[in-house]
Structure 1
Amino acid sequence: MPSNEQGQLHLIVGTNVIMSSMASENVPVIYIPEELRQTDRIQRLVKRFEDKFGDKPVFLVRVPGRVNIIGEHIDYVGYSVLPMALKQDIVMAVSVNSTGRIELTNLDQENYHDESIDPTGLEFPQPPQWYHYFQCGYRGIVDRFCNGQPPLGLNVAVHGTIPAGSGLSSSSAMVCAAAFATIIAFHQKTNMLSIPINKLEITQLCIKSERYIGTDSGGMDQAIALLAEE
């Protein structure tokens, strides 16, 4: 995976590495900040990936959670909200596999069991489990850009520091991270994602994708996760 002089991982679109600022319309640079890269958490996530899949991950994806300061549960009826992104996040270590299946493992083995998924028959039963949110992001990208292509197998190790059920949007962060992971993986495997993709389009795709699981999202969670500026 190409990197700059700081060793940051980037999303490739076509033949160009997108070096966008958060204020631009392009897809944001996907990277693990140096202070996070060196943490025990990331080292443990990579080790979990290696122990599970027998190889190193090819890239990492990170998406933050959010807190809404004003206007809870009103964005989906058109009212204004005031969210902000948090340091708490979802991080994924990812590589493409040759099995054609989505293989998911979570660093928190006590609460989240491993899952092997057939991407040709994705189901979204109720109540949803943690891996169903990954399926949302994966399916959203496949339906938009890759329909009719052979299934893409992924090996993914996940860890989140956003407390589940806390109202800090861990589920939307999971969907967005899965979408980014799928975009990067499809490019690496097939080089088919050669069209420009901007942040707004990805945000809209993630909003739509989360509805596969029955969430009536107004878009606040996905927008702040992907469009927030420091």
Structure 2
Amino acid sequence: MSAHATPRPDLLSAAPERADALARVRTLFEETFGSAPDGVFSAPGRVNIIGEHVDYQDGLCLPMAISHRCFVAAARTSTGLLRMRSAQAEGVLEVPIAELDPARAGGWTAYVEGVVWALAARIAETEGTSGAGLDLVVDGYVPLGAGLSSSASLECAVAEAVTALLDLGTTPLERVRACITAETDYAGASTGGLDQSASVLCQAGHALLLDCRDFSTRPVPWDLAGQGLALLITDTRAEHSHVDGEYVARRRDSETAARLLGVPTLRDAEHAGPEQLADLLARIDDATIRRRARHVLTEIERVREFDRVLASGGVRENVARLGELLNASHDSLREDYEVTVPQLDVAVDAARAAGAHGARMTGGGFGGSTIALVEADAALDVAAAIEAAFVEQGLAAPVFFLALPSAGAGPEV
């Protein structure tokens, strides 16, 4: 982009207006099932601000919910059937609730079926053998394949609907656990629970400090809008290549590092500062395993400091330090954990060069998205600079979103 070019106003993809999304999903429900839904429920996608690849080492993460959400219109029936339609797919699919089976799961409906299956015992306690059924229409606005937890937003919206319509009385944490079970045991996908925790438990204007050792959480004030700031999300559109094998390899490396250090997980490897960290890592002979351990140990400390900085005086007063922590996180993921790809690095480097306070990849890596902490009125310019860098490198055009910390799952008024 030249110094005098004007960025396209349509460069940033906005979430739909809430009223428009509600009207659309209600209308589709009525067209599909011939009556109005009993209620509409929604749950957000998420970005992880900092704390990457530490969940499986009992680390700390700091996610936040985004404004892009999944909406579910639903009604209770007496058919004993789970009937499902998606605005993003054709046709109505149905299965008897009593016959839900992970062995037959597949496609997007596995995430819906899995939640009902995970709550089956609670449904039986409440409903007995009354043959309660559910009709659901799903309309998702969390971008697919961008690492923003579209599957978790679907699961969590369904969990809200099932709980409310069947009077299950589940707690938020019980719904989180049911959604984790749905993804891991029914849909057969890997999740550490960060996504579901963020989608259910986040509050507007806050991030969520998640301790992966015991799944305790604490809201952390993160008032971006009030400080004239925003998170710019760049969906790099990079295909996730070999991600499953690479993820398994990184997890195995971190487990090896913990074993070599004689601790259950790397979270237990105590060190009081850089010198003590260097002494600790010197006990690992293999250079690759040593780098993996260094990332996990330093990333956990970056989350702790990010939390301390926010608690000490807010975002605006400490924006430079927050940016430094974001930058250090990405550099560690690129150099020590080796989970970035060219698209992620190009997006981060271009954002920094265009004036972002800090930028990093978010999610598991090997594709997906980046985030950049930017002045709200400069977001369009930073996005345009990233787009120009992609053009210069011959990469497919990215997609951009602005993120402000949003509310978690719940019923729509």
Question: Paired residue for 1:46?
Answer: 26
Give the Å deviation of 1:45. 1.4
Structure 1 distance, partners of 2:179, 2:57, is 18
Question: Paired residue for 1:166?
Answer: 146
Please report the TM-score for the alignment, with normalisation by the length of structure 1. Answer: 0.72
**Which of the numbers 157, 179, 184 marks the counterpart of 1:177?**
157
**Which of the numbers 196, 200, 216 marks the counterpart of 1:222?**
196
Structure 2 distance, partners of 1:173, 1:145, is 21
Counterparts of 1:175-214 in structure 2, within 5 Å, are 175-187=155-167, 193=168, 197-212=170-185, 213-214=187-188
Question: Paired residue for 2:212?
Answer: none
Question: 8 Å contact 2:79–2:131 — kept in the other structure?
Answer: no
For residues 12-68 of structure 1, what are the alpha-carbon distances to aligned partners after superposition, in whole Å with 9 as ceiling and x for unaligned? xxxxxxxxxxxxxxxxxxxxxxx61x22x3222111111110000110111000011
Give the Å deviation of 1:127. 8.0
Question: Paired residue for 2:120?
Answer: 142
Question: 8 Å contact 1:90–1:158 — kept in the other structure?
Answer: yes
Structure 2 distance, partners of 1:100, 1:197, is 21
Q: How many residues align?
A: 185
Question: 8 Å contact 1:97–1:155 — kept in the other structure?
Answer: yes
Letter in 2 for 1:200: L
Structure 1 distance, partners of 2:170, 2:134, is 21
Give the Å deviation of 1:98. 2.7
Q: Are the structure 2 counterparts of residues 126 and 166 from structure 1 closer, same or farther at C-alpha, using a change threshold of 3 Å?
A: farther
Structure 2 distance, partners of 1:126, 1:154, is 19
For residues 87-107 of structure 1, what are the alpha-carbon distances to aligned partners after superposition, in whole Å with 9 as ceiling and x for unaligned? 111100110123221111112
Question: Paired residue for 1:72?
Answer: 52
Unmatched 5+ stretches in structure 2: 1-16, 205-413
Matching of residue 130 in structure 1 with residue 108 in structure 2 = yes
Matching of residue 89 in structure 1 with residue 69 in structure 2 = yes
Structure 1 distance, partners of 2:145, 2:82, is 25
Give the Å deviation of 1:138. 1.0
Give the Å deviation of 1:128. 3.4
Of Structure 1 and Structure 2, the greater helix share is in 2
Unmatched 5+ stretches in structure 1: 1-34, 188-192
Larger Rg: 1 or 2? 2
Structure 1 distance, partners of 2:105, 2:57, is 24
SS in 1 for 2:166: helix
Give the Å deviation of 1:204. 2.5
SS in 2 for 1:149: coil
Please report the TM-score for the alignment, with normalisation by the length of structure 2. Answer: 0.42
Matching of residue 152 in structure 1 with residue 132 in structure 2 = yes
Question: 8 Å contact 1:104–1:131 — kept in the other structure?
Answer: yes
Identity, in percent, stands at: 32
Runs of 4+ in 1 over 6 A off after TM superposition: none
Give the Å deviation of 1:153. 1.1
SS in 2 for 1:218: coil
Give the Å deviation of 1:203. 1.9
Structure 1 distance, partners of 2:177, 2:143, is 25
Matching of residue 115 in structure 1 with residue 89 in structure 2 = no
Structure 2 distance, partners of 1:144, 1:216, is 24
Letter in 2 for 1:222: Q
Question: Paired residue for 1:13?
Answer: none
Structure 2 distance, partners of 1:127, 1:94, is 21
